[in-house]
Chain A
Amino acid sequence: MNELLTGAVTGILFGFIMQKAHVIRYDKQLGAMRLKDMTIVKFMLSAILVAMVGIYLLVDLGMAKLSIKATILGANILGGLIFGIGWAIVGYCPTTGSAALGEGRYDSLFGLLGMVLGAGLYAEAFPLLKETVLTWGNLGKITIPGALGVNHWIVIVVLIAAFLGVFRLFERKGL
């Protein structure tokens, strides 16, 4: 099937689901960062919980492939810190920014435009970063089960237990 069409259909469905879950708003994202409203964390962990079981099942059956990115400690840690600062300021990530615009929260348009600028600046800085930060602590394409040397289903069961524990805590605290 045409990949532009499948991309559009997948995006429409995902945008629909995110709007229904109320995870695309500035107030929800800042609410999570301020530890006051865990709606987006519930959504994300539920999605991960279901998807990790289904995708690993498909992988075990030889019907799908994982898409693993390299772990580069310098780039992941520094990039994560910078992203966190920016995310707290703009209150949208790229996907939720696009969804928020669809819902009418059009301050996200300026966030999206800023993201285009940030991407352009990154492209300018890339030759320098490639020689420096992007070489610091490159561990290659590792996974948690791979690094621990255990079967992936053990990790999945432990994570499911941990997620359910987190959900219980959220509900008990009314977050």
Chain B
Amino acid sequence: MNILTQKTWSPYAAGAVAGLLLILSVFLTGKYFGASTTFVRIAGFVEQAAAPEKVAGMEYFIKEKIKLDWQGMFVLGVLFGSLASASLSGERRAVPVPPMWEARFGPSRTRRWTVAFFGGAVAMFGARLADG
């Protein structure tokens, strides 16, 4: 059986492979995996369009530098890697509301999407505060 078209890998084996990928990344390029700084840069980029002078003076955006770098491409790459994997195994399909959510809170898309939006905002604020 072709492992690339398989639906599921053991989480232990997949985790070990992810660990090897991190070792290789650190060895070859010195990069550790991360994602949340990219969201700061996107926020800065968007705000720049509306108020460039304000953003230019904001300490946090100066500290994190608004630019497309390794991490930005990593976050984008993750999306396409997942898309490729799900396409190969035939698992890629549009799911607007997660099943576990639907079982508890019903099928309303508006409700799920609104809650996801605010949950995401809270999660990212906390992640940045903890520097994760």
- Interface set of A (CB-CB < 8 Å, partner B): 1, 3-27, 30-31, 39-40, 42-51, 54-55, 58, 63-65, 67, 69-70, 72, 75-76, 78-95, 97-108, 110-127, 129-130, 133-134, 167
Contacts and interface: CB of A to CB of B under 8 A. Distances in A.
Contacts of B44: 120, 123
Contacts of A102: 78-84, 86, 92
Contact of B11 (A21, A117, A130): A21
A122 B129 contact: yes
By CB atoms of chain B within 10 A, which of A58, A80, A123, A134 has the most?
Answer: A123
A20 to B, nearest CB: 4
A10 to B, nearest CB: 5
Given A115-B39, A117-B120, A14 B73 contact: no
A63 B72 CA distance: 25
Q: What is the interface of chain A mostly: helix, strand, loop, or mixed?
A: helix
B76 interface: yes
B119 A46 contact: no
Contacts of B74: 7-8, 10-11, 14
Contacts of A69: 131
A37 to B, nearest CB: 10
A86 B75 contact: no
Nearest to A85: B122
Nearest to B131: A69
B120 A120 contact: no
Interface in B107-132: 109, 112-132
A118 B6 contact: no
B81 A64 contact: no
Contacts of B39: 94, 112, 115-116, 118-119
A86 B120 contact: yes
A15 B68 contact: no
Nearest to B79: A102
Nearest to B58: A123
Contact of B12 (A46, A101, A114): A46
Given A114-B120, A114-B123, A117-B121, 15 more contacts: A6-B31, A7-B77, A15-B84, A80-B126, A83-B122, A86-B120, A87-B123, A98-B35, A103-B92, A107-B97, A114-B116, A117-B43, A120-B43, A120-B46, A122-B129
